[in-house]
């Protein structure tokens, strides 16, 4: 379980996150939704310690990021996007590396089979399409086998078949007791897989349980409605 | 951390910089070879010229002394010394003329000339020890500095004794056509070449420690569930091993290229040095090359540790290059012998970046003995890594925090 208490973050004088407090339970999927440039990725970076948050703010299964950084990081995986993969290395190199570094026992072969990446398993990242890279990146999440998966816009560049495949895997991970925080602009997908949705607006989180409501309508109400009022 | 080492090594090895580094090493080492590739093997010819010139000097000196009237006891002694020298050089000149005219004969039987050279060298030791060194007309040896001291004469004796014992012709290390073992040794003895090789290492180190920043791939490294210092040490290890392997590959390539063109040479050829400033000793080319390799490996490790520390403060390639080049510039003799650094120079790593003066005890700046030099290089390396450990203790994400 991830517990966030009074998280603040600003780039210089420009505040992005203000006094955020929330909890992500084990065995849950939380959607993170906001227009571009409003702090989704910043929040994910804070949660994994890439950006400073201060002591006592982040606890993952009771472990404070600032007190036991290594033990905290061992329970999560986050790689912002597939452009951060190593272009000169193969998918195989990445998966073997992640498996060792996260001391995981997940079978690479099984993951490769499940995600259908066998065809380009031995290809270098630079030779892959965006969709292939997204598959390789998700394979890294699976092979690392962390408790908390922070995933930033995983559906970019995917065809409908792959989107369904990714959603199925997210659901399987949830069933296995994992905690997923998934940022996305695909509101229909958010509606299909999320238990709760965090709408990040004006540096604060508006948390809504997913009761089957039309997420695009919610998005429009929360974000576009405000823009209309301003207009 | 083996996985981290493997990943870093593979990533770095696959960059185009590694190929550029390999070519740069090779070109540096082969410049002299290519510049003289169409020249004749003039080393022995020049040396014969030196014998002839010395004979000329002796003739003039003898003429001058014979005209002195009346001849004092000292003039007579000097005349006797010069006459003896002329006789010995005459014999050397005659034997050497035959050898230069017939290189095949030289390769088959260099002993007669070596025997005559040894005879002259022994005479010179005796004269120098008796305080009559000023009367000696010392001939120049191609590629070597002229040393008129008693130690210098002792070195000459040991050289010809060893050559005679091993039935080898004398090599002149600035000759146009040197066999591979001697050519490489001549290159490695050059302080300038060594420092340029280290400058190329600095480029590889800078590439390694700025790679992630330039390719925007820092994130994964910063969220690893491992101590950041361990990750840094793995990067140091990968960079160090790659640099050493690329340098070794370049040296091997140069050896093969020169060997195919000019022959392989012999690693048992003697280099003469003085370990204590009083006596002469033999160091074979093979042992010199091994010692050079060991010391250069430590120098590479030091530069890698420096790059690691700098990477915790900046990812700018220019600053990485500047820090490495600064250490190398401090290793230039004119800096090391400057009065301002003289009191502390023996404790600076730069004093030990050139293996040849250390191995042959020829440094013109203060140095600790070989063991002390190794301790200084390793001590600074450990110190730099220790500073990196401290930095990461307080700033686990390095320069980005």
- The span from the first CA to the last CA of chain A, in angstroms, equals 41
The encoded tokens of residue B249 equal: 């590959």
Distances (CA, A) of A74 to A68, A146, B151, B317: 10, 7, 66, 32
- Report the residue of A11, A47, A69 to disrupt the B interface, i.e. the one with the largest count of B CBs within 10 Å: A69
* Whether pLDDT at B128 is above 80: yes
Strands laid side by side in the A2-11 sheet: A14-24, A2-11, A58-60, A63-64
Residue of A nearest to B213 (CA): A84
Contact A29, A180 (CB under 8 A): yes
Residue A50 has its nearest CB partner, among B4, B14, B222, at: B222
Residues 83-102 of A with CB under 8 A from B: 83-89, 93, 96-97, 100-102
pLDDT score, position B400: 45
Spatial distance between the Cα atoms of A33 and A12, rounded to a whole number of angstroms: 24
pLDDT score, position B43: 67
Residue with tokens 């905690």: A179
pLDDT score, position B382: 98
Sign of CA dihedral A101, A104, A105, A107: negative
The encoded tokens of residue B285 equal: 């080319």
Residues B314-338 have a mean pLDDT of 94
Touching check for A195 and chain B: CB below 8 Å?
no
The encoded tokens of residue A114 equal: 């499940």
Q: Which residues of B touch A (CB under 8 A)?
A: 2-4, 6-7, 10-11, 14-15, 215-217, 219-220, 222-227, 396-397, 401
In sequence order, the 6+-apart residues with CB closer than 8 A to the CB of B33 are B183, B254, B257, B258, B261
Spatial distance between the Cα atoms of B120 and B348, rounded to a whole number of angstroms: 42
Sign of CA dihedral A123, A126, A127, A129: positive
DSSP character for B347? Answer: G
Is CATH 3.20.20.70 what the domain over A1-75+147-159+178-231 is classified as, yes or no? no
Which string of DSSP letters, residue by residue, matches A42-78? HHHHHHTTSS---TTSEEETTEETTTSHHHHHTTEE-
* Whether pLDDT at A2 is above 60: yes
* Whether pLDDT at B280 is above 70: yes
**Candidate from A1-5, A99-103, A223-227 with smallest mean pLDDT:** A223-227
Distances (CA, A) of A199 to A31, A38, A203, A229: 8, 10, 10, 18
ipTM: 0.89
- Report the residue of B15, B211, B223 to disrupt the A interface, i.e. the one with the largest count of A CBs within 10 Å: B223
pLDDT score, position A231: 38
Spatial distance between the Cα atoms of B252 and A168, rounded to a whole number of angstroms: 55
Q: Kindly report the nearest CA distance between residue B309 and chain A, in angstroms.
A: 20
Residue B4 has its nearest CB partner, among A52, A83, A101, at: A101
State pLDDT tens for residues B164-180.
999 988 888 777 778 99
Residues B320-341 have a mean pLDDT of 94
pLDDT score, position B104: 60
Distances (CA, A) of B219 to A84, A104, B50, B109, B382: 7, 20, 66, 68, 27
CATH 3.40.50.300 domain extents, chain A = 1-75+147-159+178-231
Q: Does B223 contact A84 at a Cβ distance shorter than 8 Å?
A: no
Residue A114 burial (CB count, 10 A): 16
Residues in B touching A103 (Cβ below 8 Å) = 225
**pTM exceeds 0.90, yes or no:** no
Instruction: Categorize the per-residue pLDDT at B105 as very low, low, confident or very high, splitting at 50, 70 and 90.
Output: low
The encoded tokens of residue B41 equal: 């093997």
pLDDT score, position B401: 42
Residue with tokens 């010394």: B81
Instruction: Categorize the per-residue pLDDT at A172 as very low, low, confident or very high, splitting at 50, 70 and 90.
Output: very high
Residues in B touching A85 (Cβ below 8 Å) = 217
């Amino acid at each position: 379980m991830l517990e966030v208490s009074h998280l603040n973050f600003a780039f210089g004088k420009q505040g992005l996150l203000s006094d955020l407090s929330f909890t992500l339970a084990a065995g849950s999927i939380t959607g993170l939704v906001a227009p571009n440039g409003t702090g989704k990725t910043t929040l994910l970076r804070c949660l994994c310690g890439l950006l400073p948050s201060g002591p006592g703010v982040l606890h993952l299964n009771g472990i404070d990021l600032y007190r036991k950084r290594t033990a905290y990081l061992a329970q999560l995986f986050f790689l912002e996007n597939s452009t951060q993969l190593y272009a000169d290395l193969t998918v195989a190199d990445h998966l073997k590396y992640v498996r060792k570094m996260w001391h995981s026992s997940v079978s690479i072969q099984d993951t490769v089979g499940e995600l259908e990446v066998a065809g380009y398993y031995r290809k270098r990242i630079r030779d892959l399409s965006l969709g292939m890279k997204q598959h390789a990146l998700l394979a890294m999440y699976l092979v690392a086998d962390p408790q908390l998966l922070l995933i930033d816009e995983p559906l970019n560049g995917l065809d409908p078949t792959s989107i369904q495949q990714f959603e199925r895997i997210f659901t399987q991970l949830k069933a296995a007791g994992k905690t997923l925080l998934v940022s996305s602009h695909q509101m229909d997908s958010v509606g299909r897989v999320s238990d709760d949705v965090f709408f990040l607006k004006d540096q604060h989180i508006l948390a809504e349980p997913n009761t089957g409501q039309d997420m695009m309508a919610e998005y429009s109400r929360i974000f576009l409605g405000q823009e209309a009022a301003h207009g | 951390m083996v996985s981290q080492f493997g990943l870093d090594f593979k990533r770095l090895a696959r960059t185009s910089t590694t190929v550029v580094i390999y070519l740069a090493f090779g070109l540096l080492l082969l410049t002299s070879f290519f510049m003289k590739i169409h020249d004749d093997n003039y080393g022995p010819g020049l040396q014969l010229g030196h014998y002839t010139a010395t004979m000329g000097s002796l003739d003039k000196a003898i003429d001058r002394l014979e005209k002195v009237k009346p001849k004092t006891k000292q003039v007579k002694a000097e005349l006797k010394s010069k006459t003896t020298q002329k006789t010995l050089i005459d014999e050397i000149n005659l034997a050497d003329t035959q050898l230069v005219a017939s290189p095949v004969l030289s390769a088959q039987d260099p002993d007669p000339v070596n025997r005559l050279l040894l005879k002259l060298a022994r005479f010179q030791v005796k004269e120098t020890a008796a305080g009559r060194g000023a009367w000696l007309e010392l001939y120049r040896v191609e590629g070597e500095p002229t040393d008129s001291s008693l130690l210098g004469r002792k070195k000459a004796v040991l050289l010809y004794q060893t050559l005679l014992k091993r039935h080898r012709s004398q090599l002149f290390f600035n000759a146009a056509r040197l066999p591979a073992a001697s050519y490489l040794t001549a290159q490695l003895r050059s302080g300038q070449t060594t420092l340029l090789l280290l400058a190329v290492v600095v480029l590889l180190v800078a590439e390694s420690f700025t790679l992630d920043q330039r390719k925007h791939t820092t994130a994964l490294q910063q969220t690893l569930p491992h101590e950041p210092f361990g990750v840094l040490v793995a990067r140091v290890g990968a960079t160090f091993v790659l640099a050493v392997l690329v340098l070794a590959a370049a040296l091997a390539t140069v050896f093969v290229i020169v060997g195919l063109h000019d022959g392989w040479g012999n690693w048992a050829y003697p280099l003469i040095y003085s370990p204590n400033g009083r006596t002469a000793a033999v160091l074979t080319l093979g042992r010199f090359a091994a010692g050079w390799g060991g010391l250069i490996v430590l120098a590479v490790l030091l530069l890698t540790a420096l790059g690691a520390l700098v990477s915790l403060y900046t990812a700018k390639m220019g600053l990485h290059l500047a820090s490495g080049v600064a250490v190398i510039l401090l290793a230039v003799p004119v800096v090391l012998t400057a009065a301002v650094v003289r009191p502390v120079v023996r404790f600076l790593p730069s004093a030990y970046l050139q293996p040849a003066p250390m191995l042959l005890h020829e440094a013109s700046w203060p140095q600790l003995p070989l063991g002390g030099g190794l301790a200084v290089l390793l001590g600074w390396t450990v110190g730099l890594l220790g500073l990196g450990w401290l930095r990461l203790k307080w700033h686990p994400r390095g320069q980005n925090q």
